[in-house]
Amino acid sequence: MTDQNLRDMLQTRGLKATFQRITILDYLMTHETHPTADMIHLDLKEISLATIYNTLEKLVDVGLVIVIDTQKDDKRHYDYYGEPHYHIINNNTNEIIDADNFDVAPLFEAARQASGLNITGFHIEIYGVDPDEAK
Partner DNA sequence: TAACTAAATTAGAATAATTCTAAAAGAGGA
Partner DNA sequence: TCCTCTTTTAGAATTATTCTAATTTAGTTA
HSE-up (13 A, CA, CB side) for residue 103: 3
Nearer to Zn ion, 29 or 44 (CB): 29
Work out the number of other CB atoms within 10 angstroms of the CB of residue 43.
12
Q: Which residues contact 39 (CB under 8 A, 6 or more apart)?
A: 33
Residue 71 C-beta: closest distance to Mn ion, Å: 8
| Interaction residues for DNA, span 25-44 (CB under 7 A) | 36-38
Nearer to Zn ion, 14 or 113 (CB): 113
CA distance 44 to 14: 24
| Interaction residues for a second copy, span 9-38 (CB under 8 A) | none
Scanning 40-48, 49-57, 73-81, 111-119 for contacts with Zn ion by CB under 5 A, the matching segment is 73-81
Tell me the three state secondary structure of residue 65: strand
Can residue 15 be called a binding residue for DNA (CB under 7 A)? yes
Which of 73, 98, 100, 109 binds Zn ion (CB under 5 A)? It is 98
Which of 8, 57, 69, 130 binds Mn ion (CB under 5 A)? It is 69
Pairing of strands 86-90, 96-99: antiparallel
Contact 58, 50 (CB under 8 A): no
Residue 34 C-beta: closest distance to DNA, Å: 13
CA distance 33 to 62: 21
Footprint of a second copy (CB under 8 A): 60, 67, 69, 71, 86, 88, 90-91, 97, 99, 101-102, 106-108, 110-131
